[in-house]
Amino acid sequence: MPTISSSRRRRSSQGGMMVLLVAAMLMFLVPVIGLVVDCSLIYYIRARLTAAADAAALAAARSLNLGITVADQNANAVARARAFFDANYSGPQYGAKNTNLNVTLAQGTTPATQKTLYVTTQAQTDAPTYFMNIFNISKVTIRVDGQAARRNINLMLVLDRSGSMTNTQPGSMSTACDTMKSAAKNFVTYFANNRDRLALVTYETSYYLTFAANSNFNPGISTAIDGISCSGGTNISSGLNQAYSQLQQIGEPAALNVIVLFTDGQPTALTCDFPVKLKRDSRYGDGNSSASPTALYPSGSSMTSTVTFPPSPCKDPSGDQWYKGPSYTNPAGPYNPNWQPFPVGSTGAGASNYTIRGAIVYAGSTPDPTGYVYGLYNWSGSPTPISTPGGCAFQQSAWSNRVNAVRRDIAYIPDTDAWGNSTTGFRTNWVFPSPTNFTGRDKFTSNSESSYNGHIRPDNPASVGNAAYNVTDNQGSRIRADGNLNPIIYTIGLGGNDSSGYGVDTELLIRLANVQNALDPNTASVINNSIYNAAQPQGLYVYAPNTVQLNQAFALIASSVLRLSR
């Protein structure tokens, strides 16, 4: 009779124990695996639900420009939130049920957040379970929140309406002025009417508050843009100053305060309280022949050599001049002690009776004495020459170079412009577009009237050009240094619009925008910003090589502004 060996008995016993052990492990592992599967599904549904809630909140914040009234904007924002939620999450495909979304919009209540709108999305769904049914758990309710914030924007749009904007570029049927207006009208549609506040400042020789800051800007600002006509010089500093003044009047530190500057060229004009020339001195001529009486209006036909000019012939409202009599013979007098040519508060008045507030412009193919210094023009709302009180050399209607004769009327360019910006700064010697160095010719050094020495010359276009640059640069520095409003400056430069070499200046525009560096389109080299300040708000400089790309440049700025508002 066969027998079972002890070794076989041991193996049989061990096999039985293994079966029991595996069975026990399966009884433990199956629920664990089921729990893992259910948890993975729940985690996946929660992740998709969170992403959809976040997308809905962001979409709502981005769509707040849709609608004229705040109520319409809020309704559109909620509708856009639901549309984005539905596009990013579909509960039934995961077996989830009872999915719903709640969208709320609320304005901040603290001083720091009162100009911020918060969009909150609350999403909920019931995720199914499969293996957890063993424990009588048939569903798990998932709740998630999404939030996006959008600060109200105070945006000052500053547009160049100078004469070069009337140029038409190759391949274009429209002037740069018309293309700019079209791009600007599209630009303002990115912002929320009755929520954001927009203003339009335009500039040429003078500045225009074309559309005062207003939260109800649609369609008024577009109508104002349509009415822009282009001519004159490029007084960028005056446009920036007026834009900053609008932000100061609004006075909302909690909002996003922005200035967007567009130009196709370089600063050619500045506004100052110019001191009337009360002394007999020598300076470059103005290209005008002598007129009667000769002593009062001596010949200044030579623009490359100095001419001795008497005091300004400007008259006061009574018709009196600074010096008495029909002719000027004695540098020491006699003078009229009652002469007050520009009473404070009158048209053309500066800071005192003996200063004229107005704008001067340099012009000419080369920045040397053979160029022109035009003026004095009204500094606000009109590019026409100042008309009162009359009698000034720049007001002599019989002269062919009448406005170029302003060098006979003003003593020098003062140390600051009409708004306190220094006329000296980083631009001290003219080097563009010609390589000629004008060191020592920016200021009077050995004038026949010693009291004018050391002051910036008004009779050299190079000096006027430098001063126009410096007041623009210094105005930008003052704006960026405002730690209360924290304004951000954006700049757009249009290329291909000036064949004479006076196109946009990359260095100036990156200095204004506080951009660290940029590629110079004229030299294809990188220009570094020597005054870049990481502690101040950084804007953006966008270069549009031609009018075809101008709309994209404005759209890029709009995208950057809206991104910062969130």
Planar angle of CA 377, 382, 385, nearest 5 degrees: 30
pLDDT in the model for residue 431: 43
Q: Tell whether the model's pLDDT for residue 184 goes beyond 90.
A: yes
Q: Tell whether the model's pLDDT for residue 519 goes beyond 80.
A: yes
8 A C-beta contact, residue 145 and residue 247 = no
Closest CA to 473 of 426, 520, 505: 426
Average pLDDT over residues 272-282: 90
Fold topology of 153-268+469-564: Rossmann fold (3.40.50)
Split at pLDDT 50, 70, 90, the class of 129 is: confident
Q: Which of 28-37, 79-88, 465-474 shows the lowest mean pLDDT across its residues? A: 28-37
Q: Tell whether the model's pLDDT for residue 110 goes beyond 70.
A: yes
Q: For 139-179, how does the pLDDT look when each residue is reduced to its tens digit (9 = 90+)? A: 889 899 988 888 899 999 999 999 999 998 877 889 999 99
Please tell me which of 231-235, 297-301, 335-339, 512-516 the model is most confident about, judged by mean pLDDT.
512-516
Q: Tell whether the model's pLDDT for residue 434 goes beyond 50.
A: no
8 A C-beta contact, residue 399 and residue 405 = yes
476 beta partners: none
Distance in angstroms (rounded) separating the CA atoms of residues 268 and 281: 26
Residues contacting residue 75 through CB under 8 Å, at least 6 positions apart: 67
Split at pLDDT 50, 70, 90, the class of 69 is: confident
More confident residue, 97 or 228: 228
Average pLDDT over residues 504-516: 96
Q: Tell whether the model's pLDDT for residue 282 goes beyond 60.
A: yes
Distance in angstroms (rounded) separating the CA atoms of residues 119 and 151: 11
Helix-helix angle 461-480:236-250, to 10 degrees: 20
Distance in angstroms (rounded) separating the CA atoms of residues 332 and 330: 5
Residues contacting residue 420 through CB under 8 Å, at least 6 positions apart: none
Distance in angstroms (rounded) separating the CA atoms of residues 481 and 473: 13
Q: What's the whole-model pTM score? A: 0.85
C-alpha distances in Å from residue 558, one per residue of 56, 70, 244: 21, 20, 19
Distance in angstroms (rounded) separating the CA atoms of residues 508 and 56: 41
Sheet holding 372-377, edge to edge: 269-275, 355-363, 372-377
Q: Tell whether the model's pLDDT for residue 240 goes beyond 50.
A: yes
More confident residue, 172 or 422: 422
Strand residue runs (E) in 54-115: 97-107
Phi-psi region of 496 (alpha: psi -120 to 50; beta: other; left: phi over 0): left
Map tokens 């009448």 to a residue.
402
544 beta partners: 494
Residues contacting residue 131 through CB under 8 Å, at least 6 positions apart: 30, 31, 33, 34, 35, 37, 38
pLDDT in the model for residue 533: 97
pLDDT in the model for residue 345: 67
Q: Tell me the DSSP string of 358-419.
A: EEEEEESSSSSTTSEEEEEE-SBS--SBP-SS---GGG-TT-TTGGGGGGGTB--B-SB-TT
pLDDT in the model for residue 325: 55
Average pLDDT over residues 89-105: 84
Closest CA to 466 of 362, 350, 549: 362
Q: For 205-227, how does the pLDDT look when each residue is reduced to its tens digit (9 = 90+)? A: 999 999 999 999 999 999 999 99
Token pair listed for 262? 């567009």
Distance in angstroms (rounded) separating the CA atoms of residues 55 and 119: 11
The percent of residues in the chain predicted with pLDDT above 70, rounded, is 85
- pLDDT averaged over every residue in the chain: 84
pLDDT in the model for residue 328: 55
Name the residue ranges covered by the structural domains of the chain: 30-151, 153-268+469-564
Q: Which of 231-235, 253-257, 386-390 shows the lowest mean pLDDT across its residues? A: 386-390
Q: Tell whether the model's pLDDT for residue 236 goes beyond 80.
A: yes
C-alpha distances in Å from residue 385, one per residue of 244, 285, 364, 393, 464: 26, 20, 19, 12, 18
Q: Tell me the DSSP string of 110-146.
A: STTTTTEEEEEEEEEEEEE-SGGGGGT--EEEEEEEE
Which element (helix H / strand E) includes 109?
A: none
Q: Tell whether the model's pLDDT for residue 514 goes beyond 60.
A: yes
Asked if residue 521 has a cis previous peptide bond (ω within 30° of 0), the answer is: no
Which element (helix H / strand E) includes 532?
A: none
